[in-house]
Chain A
Amino acid sequence: MKAFNPTKPLKGIRIADFTVHAAGPFSTHLMSMLGAECIKIESSKRLDVFRKPHPVYGRMTAASFAQVAANKKSIQINLKDPKGLELAKRVISISDVMCESFRPGVMERLGLGYEVLKKIKPDIVMLSISAQGQTGPERTYAGYAPLFGATGGVGTLTGYQDGPPVEVRHVMDHSSGFNAAMATLAALYRRKRTGVGAHVDVSAREVATSFIGQALFQYSATGESVHRQGNDMPPHAPNNVYPCLGLDKWVSISVASDKEWQNLAKKMGDEQLLTHAHFTHAASRWEHRHDMDLRIASWTRKHTREEVTALLQSVGVAAFPSYNAQDIADDSHMRQRGSVCDLSSSEGETRRVVGPPWLFSRTPASLDTWTPKMGEHNHYIFGELLGMSETEINQLIEQKVID
């Protein structure tokens, strides 16, 4: 068993991870890459739904389970059995962080609410991540990413000006997980400074709302409601995605200043654009952006997205290909950074995965271990960490407490 890496930022931090689906597991996955020992607690009676395929997606493979469960240890506890509950408490008692994503109220019903956990481990940091938050009249409303994207408003404001709202999908889940990791880290740091634990309450719907905070401030200040605006982002003009050579190949281009605009127009070789009164200043470029988009698109169509990117970046104009998953897997820049890397199993299987999204000069984060099989670490956690004997563990397996 791999010991803690002494150079990791979260060395010595242990997480009892009861989360399922996407948001919660992503948050603990991030903390595991920072060096926390993350114990995923599951039961064959109540599988993580994301292990299973969902036909409504039209595909028969599991969603993001393999990625977000990687770097974790897996144990099985049947929480419906009183002995299972006791076992869960023992795991929590040797942990610094407890994460859960049940519907609000379920932890209390199980006897694992924050007040109980504080008795087991006085300085515990408990993360509760839910669709609506732990309080309020809608706290028990069911939700998946597109739903809290809708209620939170970011889905409402996303879409073509003349079209319907758009579902914000897994990135909404994972953004909630990112925010949850941020809040948990903040609570851990506060615990380090003050010795006091916390119950961190992250609502995915509120995370969705945080992405439109500026629109809400505008509404509250002026009474003007922002609507869907396609790819527009005033005062940037142009600010769009343009077709390039090849099937379904696109390049994004964004211009914030007159200087950047002049550089773009020069590279397009369009003298007329450079001097045209409609395009010389930001405000008039914005006004005539649709006309400008047509001119830019007729230029980009003749080039590959890589050519456009290289040409424009050489003069400081923001341009980048619209990447699909294959482009991400093949990107040598991210491979250099380790944010995309290869992960190997002990059985020699290798998979390209998302690595840690940060580089630390002294305490590097890393993705080290393959997605565990369910219960793979039962003997290590119950035996080595909790000091239970083999006989005791096997008995609990027979009694379907460890199940």
Chain B
Amino acid sequence: MKDTPPLDGVVVIENAKGVAASYAGRMLALMGATVIKVELPGTGDPLRQAAPALHADLQADALFAYLNVNKSSVTLDLTQSEGQKLLKELLARATIFIDDTYPDIRHHQTLTPESICALFPKLIYVSVLPFGALGEHSQYRGYEINAFHSGGEGYLMPNGLALEMFPERPPVKIYGHFAEFNGGVSAVCATFAALMVHDEVGGQWVDISVQDANVAVGCFNLQQLGEGTLEHRHERSFKYGGVLECSDGFAENLTLEQHQWEGLVTLMGEPAWAMDEALKDPLERSRQGKKINDHLRAWAKTQKVQDLVEKGQALKIPFAKYAEPADIFASEQTQARHMFSDIDFPGLGKVAMLTAPLQFSLPSTLNSCPNTPGADNQRILGQWLQHKETDLQRWLTQGVV
């Protein structure tokens, strides 16, 4: 029982076209839920379509695979009433429904939370939208960059060295789908919260906004405003330290505590400039940040990243390497933590994929990589929902599945 995954036996229907809702489905699948993804007949999830236009870049494929591991796929055309009916048959057997259809389209597809919750009082309907399902911006469309900037962090990036080098450029985003993954994590938190009271109150609908999730992770920003500071990327770089260019790559250094600064002085070999009595005072260091940085950066250029990390950490000075993908695979820490698991990928064989960034008593396991759209139609619509082969054929001809 110790090894039972949290969502063992829980059925989730995921009607997702965007990253946030798909990421939520990924996490639920990794925690043991049976996740059935509903896709458009033919082309499937729009995220599948990303790669062919840019054949040299497999990233879109990689994103789809990462998001949809451990899920089954059925295809349903939800603009047709028979498609809607089949979806409702699936929902009748599910505990959780994740949906990221925009509210106006939900209305046309008879998928509004109110109507679905009335039909299935035990169902937990998790709506995941860029700006949520309620409020004046609920119809607004949004992708990663919009969500990221709506949450406040977009305006604050970059900082430190990158900003010094390119002060006039537009803000730069965090790599990938940072805002949308956070939206997905927020949705999973709410899903578990609703499950905690499921026996008592039954189903309900939960309205997740990717913007809200990102305003929450950026809460520092609002607190600073209350303290009288409007955070700005040109004002918030560390006074010294930060990104350091070394002889063979980049390192990060941050000395918040007095003992860390003292360790850094030792590591640098106690150079005369750093022995200045005045620099023992953290406020004075803050004031002389530029001077410290000039020295620190010149010194760092003569150092190797790994040396700094190992010698620095031995002195309890926070130093880290800016790790490239290859470094992450090679790291002993990564290997000791079993962060990756091999899955069979069509045409590529066994490929290592990151599991989940959390561990209970056992690491999560990866069982299956995403298949073609509707790969599980026969098993789920036929065997599980017990529809006849002739019906499946008819729906196929009509484009319902």
Contact = CB atoms under 8 A, between A and B. Distances in A.
Given A194-B4, A358-B189, A252 B336 contact: no
A216 B352 CA distance: 8
Contact of B336 (A67, A135, A219): A135
B53 A150 contact: no
A228 B324 CA distance: 10
Main secondary structure of the interface of A (DSSP, over half): mixed
B336 A215 contact: no
Contact of B145 (A68, A196, A252): A252
Given A217-B65, A313-B141, A352 B226 contact: yes
B358 A200 contact: yes
Contacts of A329: 222, 225
Contacts of B265: none
Contacts of A196: 1-2, 4
Interface string A151-190: 1111111111001111111110011001111110111111
A303 to B, nearest CB: 16
Nearest to A249: B155
B25 interface: no
A181 B189 contact: yes
26 contacts: A9-B197, A10-B196, A138-B333, A163-B165, A165-B243, A166-B243, A170-B218, A171-B153, A179-B357, A182-B358, A189-B7, A198-B361, A207-B357, A210-B354, A220-B351, A220-B353, A226-B59, A233-B143, A233-B145, A234-B57, A320-B142, A320-B150, A324-B221, A352-B225, A354-B216, A358-B189
Interface residues of B, number: 168
Interface centre among B4, B208, B286 (most CB of A within 10 A): B286
B60 A357 contact: no
A156 B353 CA distance: 19
B172 A215 contact: no
Contact of B53 (A210, A235, A363): A235
Contacts of B97: none
B399 interface: no
A182 B135 contact: no
A190 B195 CA distance: 10
B135 A59 contact: no
Interface stretch (A72-80, A83-91, A238-246, A393-401): A238-246
Contact of A170 (B190, B197, B220, B318): B220
B170 A243 contact: yes
A231 B173 contact: yes
B377 to A, nearest CB: 26
Contact of A318 (B6, B143, B352): B143
Contacts of A200: 358-360
B152 A241 contact: no
A240 B321 contact: no
A112 interface: no
A363 B191 CA distance: 12
Given A215-B175, A318-B141, A337-B212, A67 B54 contact: no
A211 B325 contact: no
A212 B324 CA distance: 11
Nearest to A64: B220
B229 interface: yes
Interface in B93-147: 113, 117, 130-132, 134-137, 139-147
Given A166-B158, A182-B185, A318 B329 contact: no
A56 interface: yes
B58 to A, nearest CB: 5
Interface stretch (B250-258, B269-277, B388-396): B250-258
B145 A240 contact: yes
B323 interface: yes
Nearest to B287: A55
Nearest to B130: A318
Contact of A231 (B7, B172, B208): B172
B326 A55 contact: no
B384 interface: no
Nearest to B241: A56
A298 interface: no
Nearest to B165: A163
Contacts of A188: 192, 196
B172 A178 contact: no
Given A136-B337, A216-B354, 14 more contacts: A7-B201, A55-B282, A133-B333, A133-B337, A150-B323, A159-B172, A163-B165, A167-B243, A178-B189, A186-B192, A220-B351, A336-B136, A339-B216, A353-B223
Given A163-B166, A187-B360, A212-B176, A339 B142 contact: no
A371 to B, nearest CB: 10
B32 to A, nearest CB: 9
A61 interface: yes
